[in-house]
């Protein structure tokens, strides 16, 4: 059949096999049960034999269906998407609608009781894929590299704002599925290349490098989709250290990563050390930490290995390996590198446990810029700069009822990273007046007079107090 992907895409859309269509058909109960790997409610919700229910059963739930006469079964069998046995049609792949409006093709999901995963399993788009996609800068990009493209999902997010996309993967099967994902999503022109790390793009430069890498830290590389075979967290470390060589001037690299917490070592030093010497500005965010047992369980569950005869042995092996390395925990997070061109690069390493405004990619460039400005502005330049309170910052005052002065003043961001910070009366006063009209110096002089403080002393103290507030995005420097 000519142009099978285009015809199939049309059919999927006509049938309503879209993210909204699937959500609506499954409803909350079946969808949440599926998140717990329970398929029974979803199978009940799709038992009518109508086209949408049939496609959900086939490509989302992986259940065999009666051969539908409205589906071009033979060409789809030939293309490796379906198989026919005993008059029943079953899926050879997982084919899911994605939030961009496109489709993602991967290997079938494994659930408890399924046969063991193959080593070169191609994982479908999931939570980590969505996390990276929401983190990536929304700026239009010229040349983009998606390293470890897998099912190709990041390309679906990047296609509209990139001039040129190179997607690499060490797994040849992944590239085949990625090509199908792109074709079904109406995306063409992606340059797909096979190879490890930056090998396939040696000598090239990119404006944006993104990677949801095989970050899982385990005793041995059993599954390519999540484990690189590099020692411990060495793959993410090497990715970070090598990336700057492949960035164009002003380029950005964004990735998800896992890192070890080792007894006697601050994780900030470990991960900060990966970025030191890269010449790039950097932002490392730890979003979660798991203890070794939680971590091993998570990934054994991910490969549906709970309840298998090898479960206990694999679990014990994993824990023994962590113990030998004195691992106390495993951090999950984001790493962003930006080639700012500065001779004095800055790296911010922090923990962010709170809910943040999504997508972070909508303001990640601003976050990097604020960290850079706060680091590089001299005190004199800061005193001469016009500060603006960031949009959405509110003030909270608490103290004993009736007291003249609050005992605690907090500035809270209702936008972006939703940070909170406890401040003194001078910073609070500045938050009330900083609208970009006057430089900081004269504002401090006025505050000194009003609060009966020594003006020159305030000029010395204020930059030190304000620098972190600028780095954390409570104040911006006006460029107007
Ligand atoms: C977690 S999956 C990410 C897939 C997809 N990009 C996403 O966001 O969902 C990691 C991918 O990295 C690939 N990979 C594993 N080792 C690699 C290596 N040494 N070099 C490049 N890619 C590798 C795997 O085959 C897999 O497709």
Q: Which pTM was predicted?
A: 0.96
Give the 3-state DSSP-derived string for 24-71, with helices as H, strands as E and coil as C.
HHHHHHHHHHHHCCCCHHHHHHCCCCCHHHHHHHHHHCCCCEECCCCC
Residue located nearest, by CA, to atom 8 of ligand 1: 129
Site to substitute for ligand 1 among 120, 150, 176, 229, most atoms within 8 A of C-beta: 150
pLDDT along the chain (480 residues), means of 10: 85 96 97 93 96 97 94 94 95 97 96 90 97 97 97 98 98 97 97 98 98 97 95 98 98 98 98 97 98 98 92 98 98 98 97 97 98 97 97 95 88 98 95 95 95 93 96 94
Whole-number Å distance, alpha carbon 391 to ligand 1 midpoint, is 38
Give the 3-state DSSP-derived string for 275-289, with helices as H, strands as E and coil as C.
HCCCCCEEEEEEEEE
Whole-number Å distance, alpha carbon 148 to ligand 1 midpoint, is 3
Confidence (pLDDT) at 113: 86
Q: How does DSSP assign 247-259, residue by residue? A: EEEEEEEEEEEEE
With vertex at residue 417, the alpha carbon angle to CA 411 and CA 418, rounded to the nearest 5 degrees, is 40
Residue located nearest, by CA, to atom 4 of ligand 1: 150
Q: Of all atoms in ligand 1, which is nearest to the CA of residue 174?
A: 27
Nearest Cα residue to 410 out of 452, 401, 370, 399 = 399
Structure tokens that stand for 271 in this block: 């991960």
Pocket of ligand 1 (CB under 6 A): 123, 125, 129, 132, 147-151, 153-154, 168-171, 174, 196-197, 212-214, 224-226, 228
Confidence (pLDDT) at 2: 55
Q: Are strands 327-338 and 206-211 parallel, antiparallel or unpaired?
A: unpaired
Half-sphere exposure for 305 (CA within 13 Å, toward CB): 19
Structure tokens that stand for 270 in this block: 């470990």
Site to substitute for ligand 1 among 214, 227, 254, 332, most atoms within 8 A of C-beta: 214
Confidence (pLDDT) at 1: 46
Residue located nearest, by CA, to atom 26 of ligand 1: 225
Structure tokens that stand for 17 in this block: 């096999």
């Amino acid at each position: 059949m000519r142009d099978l992907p285009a015809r199939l895409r049309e059919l999927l859309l006509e049938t309503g096999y879209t993210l909204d269509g699937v959500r609506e058909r499954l409803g909350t109960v079946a969808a949440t049960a599926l998140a717990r790997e329970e398929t029974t409610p979803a199978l009940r919700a799709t038992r009518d034999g109508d086209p949408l229910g049939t496609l959900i059963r086939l490509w989302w739930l992986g259940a065999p269906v009666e051969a539908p006469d409205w589906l071009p079964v033979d060409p789809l069998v030939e293309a490796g998407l379906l198989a026919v046995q005993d008059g029943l049609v079953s899926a050879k792949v997982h084919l899911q609608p994605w939030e961009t409006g496109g489709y993602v093709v991967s290997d079938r999901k494994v659930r408890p009781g399924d046969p063991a995963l193959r080593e070169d399993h191609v994982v479908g788009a999931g939570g980590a894929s969505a996390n990276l996609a929401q983190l990536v800068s929304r700026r239009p990009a010229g040349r983009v590299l998606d390293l470890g493209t897998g099912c190709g999902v990041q390309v679906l997010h990047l296609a509209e704002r990139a001039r040129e996309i190179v997607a690499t993967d060490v797994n040849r099967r992944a590239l085949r599925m990625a090509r199908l994902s792109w074709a079904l999503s109406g995306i063409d022109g992606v340059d797909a290349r096979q190879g490890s790390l930056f090998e396939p793009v040696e000598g090239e430069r990119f404006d944006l490098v993104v990677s949801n890498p095989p970050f899982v830290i385990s005793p041995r590389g059993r599954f390519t989709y999540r484990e690189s075979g590099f020692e411990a967290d060495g793959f993410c470390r090497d990715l970070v250290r090598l990336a700057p060589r492949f960035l164009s001037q002003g380029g950005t690299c964004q990735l998800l990563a896992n890192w070890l917490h080792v007894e006697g070592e601050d994780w900030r030093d470990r991960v900060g050390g990966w970025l030191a010497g890269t010449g790039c500005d950097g932002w490392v965010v730890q979003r979660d930490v798991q203890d070794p047992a939680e971590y091993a369980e998570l990934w054994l569950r991910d490969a549906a290995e709970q309840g298998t005869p090898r479960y206990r042995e694999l679990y014990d092996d994993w824990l023994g390996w962590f113990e030998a390395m004195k691992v106390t925990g495993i951090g999950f997070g984001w790493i962003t590198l930006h080639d700012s061109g500065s001779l004095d690069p800055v790296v911010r390493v922090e923990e962010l446990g709170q809910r943040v405004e999504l997508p972070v990619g909508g303001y990640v460039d601003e976050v990097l810029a604020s960290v850079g400005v706060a680091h590089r502005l001299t005190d004199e330049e800061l005193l001469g700069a016009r500060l603006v309170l960031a949009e959405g910052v509110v003030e909270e005052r608490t103290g004993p009822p009736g007291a003249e002065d609050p005992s605690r003043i907090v500035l809270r961001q209702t936008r972006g990273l939703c940070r909170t910070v406890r401040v003194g009366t001078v910073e609070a006063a500045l938050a009330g007046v900083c609208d970009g009209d006057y430089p900081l110096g004269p504002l401090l002089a006025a505050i000194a007079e009003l609060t009966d403080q020594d003006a020159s002393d305030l000029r010395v103290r204020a930059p030190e107090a304000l620098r972190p507030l600028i780095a954390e995005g409570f104040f911006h420097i006006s460029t107007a």
